[in-house]
Structure 1
Amino acid sequence: MLRRPPLRLAMLLAAVLFAVGVLGVGLVRAAFYQPLDASSGPEPVPVLAAPAPTAVGECGTVKVKAPRELRGMWLTTVYNIDWPSKPGLPEKTVKSEYIRWLDLAVAQNHNAIFVHVRPSGDAFWPSSYAPWSNFLTGKLDGSDPGWDPMAFMVDEAHQRNLEFHAWFNPYRGTQPAPAGAGTDLAKLAPNHPLKANPSWRIAYPTGKTGRLYFDPGVPEAREFVEDAMLEAVAEYDVDGVHFDDFFYPYPEKGQDFPDDASFKKYGGGKSRADWRRENVDTLVREMHERIAELKPWVKFGISPFGIWRNGGEGSDTSGLESYDAIYADTREWVREGWLDYIVPQLYWTIGFDKADYAKVLPWWAKTVKGTGVQLYIGMADYRVGEKGDWSDPAELDRQMRLNDEFGVNGQVHFSAKQVRDDPLGAVSRYRAAHYATPALLPRMDRLPATPPPAPEITAAERGDGGELRFTARAEGVSWALYRGGALVSTGRNGTAVADPKPPAGGGTYCLSALDRSGNESAISAPLTVAGP
């Protein structure tokens, strides 16, 4: 049995840190935006108007406006789809590749990234519960790469003011051969938990595509899987815990998931379908409760298959149903408030006969209404260029316009490689229409709220690249810079406040500070600067 770290102790420490504000708003006002050295840099920009008090929400006499939506992409590690580009690369190469993905996110005006850190019973961090991922190391034996990718990933994302959502596949234990061990126990790493616990192990399907699963019907296996994911939450400053649509496996023709033993032992007289749904419900509910106990500021979200059920109380669709096929009662999770956000994968075009985007989207908007659960949409960037409607580069743009109409709180794009490659110019098109300026993350009322006091900006000077840099004092986790009433840039606590593309004629600027839940301070007094 693998050693389990003291999660309860970690919970207590996290609670203490949160209470004293170490991970939220600082208790001591600090000038973390340092003035530039005037003796070695450009001359300060003349201030045209001395700072004066301003009303909350106004920069001078102009009301500030900032878009509020989550914008992200999935960075997929399984089969090295996005990153690392291949297994077994040197640490330096893996790091440089990751930084390029973050730089892409910043260039797209994203504010979050979803990174695959547990693709298949493995880990991208030094885990007491799982072997190292072979998609990182290139080896199935659990070899230690000698560094901590998770610590690096979280830190680099935060330096760029990107939320880091750790993406887990809870029950997958291996990948099919040859990329993974498949169902071959001899190929499992020595510390793989399914080697030591045969009662937790199910092989499915038969044949070359088979893999091992943790049996969702065994309570001890479920608790172990939860502990494995919560270890990452306890040890790292992640902003979110994220699942996709892999719970019970998608059905294979002519084969049923062979969980007879656990159903006989734990079924309790229920139908097998109801029992399986209850098992998944329990995982989701317990993860929600345990994350809230461990770190109440960490968000919990799931990206399920886009159809709950067809017809009736379900959507006007005729496709596979997550409720019956993979025992994922996604509507129940929303209604019960077990999630902070949900990201249904609406990977179909507007007008598609079996699942019309324009019909499925309103169903999801209605489902989340009044629940406090935020709705983001999983966008199918990977399908652009396919035959039919996907050959139109405007399809994603049209879908995102519908998202705006129905009050969607943001989008996550699958996957990073397509965002980078910009097939048919579709990404450039929707970026210009929807992501042309920065955006603040949506406020989440379910999370702790500690809005900091209004910051101060006192001086400005131009950098060598033409940007306008400010001397400022603020508290909180991040900042937002406004020119007049428009948001022009954001950054993390400790990074220089700057307008990267100031207008030639100068402008009036104000600053706000935010806590890690997106709650914004009052706006600073305005500072008006001259043109160059």
Structure 2
Amino acid sequence: MKQLLLTILFITFVLPLTAQSAGEMVTRPPKYEVRAAWVTAVYGLDWPRTRATSPEGIRKQKAELVEILDRLKDANFNTVLFQTRTRGDVLYRSKIEPFNSILTGKTAADPGYDPLAFAIEECHKRGMECHAWMVAIPLGNRKHVANLGNASVTKQKSAICVPYKREYFLNPGNPATKEYLMSLVREVVEKYDVDGVHFDYLRYPENAPRFPDTYDFRKYGKGRDLAQWRRDNITEIVRHLYKGVKALKPWVKVSTCPVGKYRDTSRYPSRGWNAFHTVYQDAQGWLGEGIQDQIYPMLYFRGNHFYPFALDWQEQSNGRQIIPGLGIYFLDPSEGNWTLDEVERQMHFIRTHKLAGQAHYRVKYLMDNTQGLYDVLEEDFYTAPALQPAMPWIDNVPPTAPTHLTVTRLPDGYIHLSWMPATDNDKRNVPTYVIYGSDTYPVDTSNPENIIAQRVQGTEYTYAPVRFWTAKKYFAVTAVDRCGNESEAGR
């Protein structure tokens, strides 16, 4: 019976995708799709390489990030998961936790600028969203905590911190932990124009039967078994953070990256490694309760360890956005023995089954064009821009259409567009605009190949064609609110 099941899975999931990876590419990419990359700051894995210890160092450190963002933009990415909190330290000016030493080489040293503010500004310039990626529960090893000194949360809030296996963790069983995490999130959401808050390691350590929470379990367990109590603790933190963000700015997306296999499925077993049992994440329960906008399951697997579990996430999504995290680091020979067609098949599968998009871990392997992945994305998969999928569970009313579009062709070959502004039902937000251009009239705004620019602020835009003879003849403009609702076109 098991052999029959494996055969069915192979035919269903792998054979059609193998044919696609051999050249049967989709002619037009979807108009709405999340295309994300994790930019990892811990240990400087992706960024930065240069220390900000002088004006020149600051300039170089910024330039390194700009280079990453430019290349993501060139390949039509639209989402940057920018590491904002690592392990008890941060990459923004916080009144709660110290700066990460990776910025300057010294713990708690101010780099002379605000990296998160800079990242948001540069992402928005390029029409990309910037999500603050925050590691939640781990606080680092003993050496790291010692280096933070009195600035460490282990000193400032010792009651909510516990040592376990030579590392320190926030204690999910202490009700004050969720309040502490929310204080950090509140800082980020209130002070910065982030598009999302993305939680990593919002879970217990793997296989931790001796995690030191016996006192808390006796105090707060209320008749539940230990495993259920721990799952409830994580869910309560997720619930508290989600509701807290929505009370501040409803349009800010809240997401997590749970372990990629939720639990055993009817199609394939998780072989004892899953979110539900191993790290106490009831992530599909979060989706069912509606306390996540997006889930980025870390599906860093191949073959039948990927496809059945990706499908399971989609089937249990409750209408929320599922964006599988792809383990592109396994393309590096020193990390694994994957070949490029593994990632290509996974991306075809994601699109075939209409998941919301994909995320790439990590951006270094895109920048290095490992096994030609960047080229394949740019030339085959991300051949046109994509807009963000909407969040109708937050707001499903699009802005009014912009009006009185005026097109002025300038002597230098540039084309100046201007229009009258749109309005949104949420008066706290001014809509941004998407510019479309085509050689046919009316401009087909359903075709992403006609997108010239997105997230345009203001009511003017100057279009610079690559060559004057490539200039589009006709134009259209739509308005988009912060929840991704797009208006009718103004022409």
Q: Cα 1:150–1:471, aligned 2, differ >3 Å: closer, same or farther?
A: same
The residue that corresponds to 1:317 in the other structure is: 270
Question: Are 1:397 and 1:433, in contact at CA under 8 Å, matched by a contact in 2?
Answer: no
Query: Which stretch of the first structure deviates more once superposed, 131-140 or 269-278?
Result: 131-140
Alignment match of 2:67 (pick from 91, 100, 106)? 100
Alignment match of 1:490 (pick from 453, 473, 481)? 453
Q: Which amino acid aligns with 1:196?
A: Q
Q: CA deviation at 1:284?
A: 0.5
- Residues in 2 aligned to 1:138 and 1:360: alpha-carbon distance in whole angstroms: 41
Q: Does 2:94 match 1:127?
A: yes
- Residues in 2 aligned to 1:511 and 1:379: alpha-carbon distance in whole angstroms: 34
Q: Cα 1:98–1:68, aligned 2, differ >3 Å: closer, same or farther?
A: same
- Residues in 1 aligned to 2:180 and 2:374: alpha-carbon distance in whole angstroms: 40
Q: CA deviation at 1:220?
A: 1.4
Unpaired runs of 5+ residues, structure 1, are 1-63, 526-532
Higher helix share: 2
The residue that corresponds to 2:419 in the other structure is: 473
Question: Where does 1:236-251 land on structure 2 (aligned, <5 Å)?
Answer: 236-251=192-207
Q: CA deviation at 1:86?
A: 5.1
Paired positions, count: 440
Question: Are 2:257 and 2:296, in contact at CA under 8 Å, matched by a contact in 1?
Answer: yes
- 3-state SS of the aligned residue for 1:174? strand
Question: Where does 1:28-177 land on structure 2 (aligned, <5 Å)?
Answer: 67-85=31-49, 90-140=57-107, 142-175=108-141, 177=143
- Residues in 1 aligned to 2:374 and 2:189: alpha-carbon distance in whole angstroms: 32
Question: Are 1:480 and 1:513, in contact at CA under 8 Å, matched by a contact in 2?
Answer: no
Larger Rg: 1
Question: Where does 1:320-399 land on structure 2 (aligned, <5 Å)?
Answer: 320-351=273-304, 355=305, 357-368=306-317, 371-386=318-333, 390-399=337-346
The residue that corresponds to 1:401 in the other structure is: 348
Cα shift readout 1:225-250 (whole Å, capped 9, x = no counterpart): 22112211111111101012442122
- Residues in 1 aligned to 2:91 and 2:359: alpha-carbon distance in whole angstroms: 22
Q: TM-score, normalised by structure 1?
A: 0.77
- Residues in 2 aligned to 1:70 and 1:301: alpha-carbon distance in whole angstroms: 13
Q: TM-score, normalised by structure 2?
A: 0.83
Q: Cα 1:319–1:271, aligned 2, differ >3 Å: closer, same or farther?
A: closer
Query: Which stretch of the first structure deviates more once superposed, 152-161 or 330-339?
Result: 152-161
Q: CA deviation at 1:323?
A: 0.9
Q: CA deviation at 1:137?
A: 2.9
Q: CA deviation at 1:171?
A: 1.5
Bigger RCO of structures 1 and 2 (CA < 8 A, at least 6 apart):
1
Query: Which stretch of the first structure deviates more once superposed, 472-481 or 339-348?
Result: 472-481
Q: CA deviation at 1:474?
A: 4.6
Unpaired runs of 5+ residues, structure 2, are 1-27, 422-430
Q: Does 2:234 match 1:267?
A: no
CA RMSD, Structure 1 to Structure 2 (Å): 2.5
The residue that corresponds to 1:192 in the other structure is: 152
Q: Which amino acid aligns with 1:422?
A: N
Q: Cα 1:381–1:118, aligned 2, differ >3 Å: closer, same or farther?
A: same
Q: Cα 1:213–1:500, aligned 2, differ >3 Å: closer, same or farther?
A: farther
Question: Are 1:512 and 1:521, in contact at CA under 8 Å, matched by a contact in 2?
Answer: yes
Cα shift readout 1:54-107 (whole Å, capped 9, x = no counterpart): xxxxxxxxxx99711111100011111111125555322221111111111111
Q: Does 2:380 match 1:415?
A: no
Q: Which amino acid aligns with 1:451?
A: P
- 3-state SS of the aligned residue for 1:123? coil
Q: CA deviation at 1:385?
A: 3.8
* Residue identity (%): 29
- 3-state SS of the aligned residue for 1:71? strand
Q: Which amino acid aligns with 1:488?
A: I
- 3-state SS of the aligned residue for 1:334? helix
